[in-house]
Chains A and B, each alone.
Chain A
Amino acid sequence: MAKVLVVTSGKGGVGKTTSTAALGAALAQGGENVVVVDFDVGLRNLDLVMGAERRVVFDLINVVQGDAKLNQALIRDKRIETLSLLPASQTRDKDALTEAGVERVIAELKEKFDWVICDSPAGIERGALLAMRHADVAIVVTNPEVSSVRDSDRIIGMLDSKTLKAEKGERMEKHLLLTRYDAGRAARNEMLKTEDILEILSIPLLGIIPESEEVLRASNIGSPVTLNNPTSAPSRAYFDAVKRLKGEMVDVVVPMERKGFISRLFGRRVA
C-alpha cells in the first residue's frame, strides 16, 4: 500500500524542501519506489535541491489540468533509479491547482510508487492545505526557535481538522522532525531543548537533524544530502528517520560530525 507523506511546517525556511529531498533519497536508496512532489507552485525549489532544474519540461499543474500525462512530467533521478520528482510550476497562478485535480494525480502516483512525499509550501493558505489534504502521514518540520514552534502548532491543528483523514474522523499520523538543532547550545540553555518542543507540540519525534554545513554543500551542487554525503551527521539522522517511518524502532540520538584533528582545532573559528 502506497503511503502519502506531507512535509509541512507553516513557517518558511525551516528545511521542508531539504528534508523532502533527503528523506526521499534515503528511502529510495533502500530500494523503495519514491516520488517527491513539489507543491510550492510559483516558488518551486525542490527541482533545484534535487539537481533536476534543467530537466523540467512539464509540471504538477500541467498534469492537474490535463495538459500533460503524469509520465511526461515525472523526472527520474539519474543517480537513484527508484527516485522520481514531480516538479511544481514556476510561472502559473497557484489557483490553477484544483482539489479534484490533485486528488486524481495523487491517486495515480499511489499506483506507481510506494511512497509519495509532498513538499508543502510555507504558510497556511490553499497550497499548504492542498499539499496536506490527501496525506496519510505528516512530517512537521520545526526549528528550535519560538516562531517555528508556534507555526508548527498551527499546522498540527490544521492537520487534525482540514485533511481528508481528519474529515473522515480518522487520526492523522503526525511526526516531528526537528531540524537545525545544535545540541551544544541546547545543553547550555541557549536553545529550546528537544523535550521542551515535544512537550509543547506533543507529537512523536521522527528525528533530530543537527545544524550542519553539509546541508548547504549538498544543495549547492543539487544533491540530496543523504546522497551527497551519506555518512555525514545530518544524513545519518535522516536515515534513522526513514527507519522510523518504516516502522522500525530506533533510539533517537543527535549524530555528531566526525571531525579530524585539524578541523577540530580550527573548525570553530571558521564557522
Chain B
Amino acid sequence: MSLFDLFRRRTSAPVARERLQVLLSHERNVIGKSDLIAILQEEILAVIAKHVKVDRDAVQIKLDRGDTMSLLEIDVELPKLAGAQGRRPT
C-alpha cells in the first residue's frame, strides 16, 4: 500500500454519495411505475409472440414522465427473418 492509498482510503463518503445518487435516480424510475410497465411488457410481448418468435428480453419498454409530455418508448428487437412464422419462403 502506498502512502497515497493511506490518504485516499479515508474519503469513502463521497463514493457512497455518488453511488447512491446514481442508484436511486435509476430505482425511482423503475419502481415508481413498475406495475404499468410490467403489464405493458407482458401484453405487448404476448401480441408480438402471436406473430413472431421473440425472446422475452427482446421487448424493452421505457416510460419517461415529463411535466408537459410523457414518452412511452417500445423497443422490439426482431430476430432474423428465418425465425419469423408465416413468412417463410415456401
Partners in one complex: yes
Residues of A at the B interface (CB closer than 8 Å) are 145-146, 149-150, 153-154, 157, 186, 188-193, 196, 200
Query: CB of B20 within 8 A of chain A?
Result: yes
The reply to whether the CB of B24 lies closer than 8 angstroms to some CB of chain A is: yes
Q: Which of A146, A157, A189 touches B14 (beta carbons < 8 Å)?
A: A189
Q: Is the CB of A193 within 8 A of B27?
A: no
Is the CB–CB distance between A189 and B24 below 8 Å? no
Q: Say whether B28 faces chain A, with CB atoms less than 8 Å apart.
A: yes
Give complex CA distance A190, B10 in Å: 6
Complex contacts, B14 vs chain A, CB 8 Å: 189
Per-residue A-contact encoding for B1-34, CB less than 8 Å = 1, 0 else: 0000000001111101101110110011001100
Interface of chain B, main secondary structure: helix
User: B13 and A190: CB pair below 8 A?
Assistant: yes
**Judging by beta carbons under 8 Å apart, are B13 and A200 in contact?**
no
Are A146's CB and B16's CB within 8 A? yes
* Pair count A-B, CB < 8 A: 41
B27 near A153: Cβ-Cβ < 8 Å: yes
Smallest CB separation, B5 vs chain A (Å): 15
Bound state CA distance, A200 and B24, in angstroms? 8
Q: What's the least CB distance linking B25 to chain A, in Å?
A: 10
Contacts of B21 in A (CB 8 A): 200
Contacts of A192 on B, CB cut-off 8 Å? 13, 16-17, 20
For the complex formed, measure the closest distance between the CB of B44 and the CB atoms of chain A, giving whole angstroms: 25
Query: A193 near B28 (CB under 8 angstroms)?
Result: no
Chain A residues with Cβ below 8 Å from B32 are: 157
Which residues of B lie under 8 Å from residue A188 when comparing CB positions?
A: 10
In the bound complex, CA of A223 to CA of B19 (Å)? 38
- A190 and B11 contact, CB distance less than 8 A: yes
Q: What is the CA–CA distance of A189 and B13 in the complex, to the nearest angstrom?
A: 5
Contact B23 A150 (CB under 8 A): yes
Whether A193 contacts B24 in the complex (CB less than 8 A), given A154-B31, A157-B32, comes out as no
Pairs across A and B, CB under 8 Å, 18 listed: A145-B16, A146-B19, A146-B20, A153-B27, A154-B27, A154-B31, A157-B31, A157-B32, A189-B10, A189-B11, A189-B14, A190-B10, A190-B11, A190-B12, A191-B13, A192-B17, A193-B13, A196-B13
Chain A residue at smallest Cβ distance from B31? A157
